Structure 1
Amino acid sequence: MLDLFGIDEVTLAAYRLWLCHEVLSVPEVAEMLGEPLVAAGRARDRLVELGLLLPSRERAGHYVAVHPEAGLDHLLQAQHEQLIRRHERLLLARAQISSFVSDYLESRPGGDTAEVRRIDSADQARAELLAIVGRAEREVLALHTRREWSSTLTREVMPVELRALRRGVVMRSVLPRSVRLDELGAGYVRTVAAHGLDARMIDDPRLDATAVDGRIGLVRLGRGFATGQTLLVRTPELTALLLTLFEQVWEAAEPLSGEAMAAPGDGDDAPNDTERLLLRLLSLGMKDEAAARHLGVSVRTVRRMIADLMARLNARSRFQAGSLAAQRGWF
């Protein structure tokens, strides 16, 4: 937990040694820890900076640990004050978002309460889809059964769907069979299914709709988002009809098999879908911290996953791991 103060494992171990011994030098700590002298030096510098270590006045080059309670109390207080300031900023941000929402709703024809609203803009239709899925509380049901199902839209909606699944939202989708032949689409299905998506397949050129929480639906007419119109439906009668249609198509659709969506190069040591997504993110130059936020895990977990992948690939560096993973078709 002390990583909250920027204290890593080596620094923490060094501090424990200084606590247990009346006075120690940096070389002595390095020897006792089995760490390089430079690592022990960095630990000493950090502890001095935090006020947890003081130079000895009696023995030059040696240091004395400050009592933990006295040394850490002011750090806790500083963190507490930062949390208060952060909370205040979050409240201000929420108020600002509320004003943005008001401005957005006022600019829309019919407002946000219209029972049926026609959307002519493809960009606005995509934005509406991301918005209703992002606000989902219980369930998202999606019919995307046209063969021209958009891989571009997949890239946009996947992060929103992953966040919804992490919140506990139930998500079922019916997709076109052609998704198995599209590398990006198949990767999307594997990734989201690994996080809880229940998917089936069927081909039907008429169906392209999404229902959220049984109370709002987005029905796309014509040829999907690229052309045609979209209807945003809020009436209970029409939403219930959309739910009935979904269940009928769901019963007729083909359950998704693991073999059908298996990626090239799968084997006993092949990565799972989360690891594949991590490899793809790293190949795009994403830092560990950003990848952790994208996956919804800690930075430590991301680094542990990377270390495990490197071991399975017998790679000595991340660059070599990326090259070997690409050769195996892991992403």
Structure 2
Amino acid sequence: MLQALGISGPAEGAYRALLRLHSATAAAVAREVGLGTAAARRALGELTEAGLAEYQPGRRSWQPVDPRLAVTALVRLRRQGLALAELAAARLATEYDDGVARIRPSGPAEALSGREEIAARLRELLAGAEKEILVIDAPPYVAAEDSLRFGEAALARGVSCRTLYTAEGLALPGAVEEVRRMAALGERARVLDAAPVKLIVVDGARALLPLSAASWATLPDAAEEGPRPAAGPGGAAAPAASGASAASGTPEGPGAVLVRPSRITDALVALFESLWRQAVPLSPDEPARGSTLDSTGERELRDLAMLLAAGLKDEAIARQLRISQRTLHRRLARLLAELGASSRFQAGIQAVRRGWVRD
């Protein structure tokens, strides 16, 4: 408990012993905690230095300081230390930026080449996210790891994440499970028939996008701090495309471009927002009111409604749900019956009203 405040384990044990005994010699503390006498003396010395105990020379014993006073004081000191560390980090960041400016090209955009450089800049970009990450997860998927899964660590630290999936990406095996998992973490997701480019924008100021179809293939360590890559949105192998062997651009030319705050990033944000308005929202996995289905049955129909709303064809839906065409048709009939609809169009309207798909 007190180790978070810089107190060692033996010292915390000695402090707890003093709280029980109220006043004790080093030998008594050693017996109470199960330490050697020398180790107990070191622990008591640490407590005295931290203000958690007071030495009584006349009795050659130690007395604990009320934790409501002593621990609160330690917390205050730790907060002050953290505040100073934050100031130091800001100063060090300025020095870092000055150094980077000397070795990196100036201007609104920087060409990146090679798998390691792209992955390193992606880690840097995501680790610096403070407000919002915008992602367009678009094909072609030239390798199993090509579709990057963004947002986990960022969401955990309060960063908003909005992701645009394509119908092709959503049709990959396991995509529904991945969308549901990310939605549970707080990601907001929508789906488009197609998107013009793969894209990441952080805080509306910096962006990363590929210059070729193969630019972002296989970046397995792209984001230890940030979200980590996946094999397509749901972790399964994606369809290969030409150029897959050129995993992250060729050594001779750039594979991606990093865009700094500029009119270019403004245009990319505007592109994302325009596509976001056109896209179909994907509903989180919540129970629907008024449903007569059990949770498993409702989830099956919700997934079907979501894929229908995304514009997937029957064959792609069956593949995504891992069911046969015959089972798909039976499930579609159940969906129409559950929603009281006579057509897919009516089913879409009722699914929106139920909250299975958002309008």
Q: Which has a greater percent of helix?
A: 1
Q: Quick check: which has more Rg, 1 or 2?
A: 2
* TM-score computed with the length of structure 2 as normaliser: 0.46
Higher RCO (CA 8 Å, separation ≥ 6 residues):
2
* TM-score computed with the length of structure 1 as normaliser: 0.50
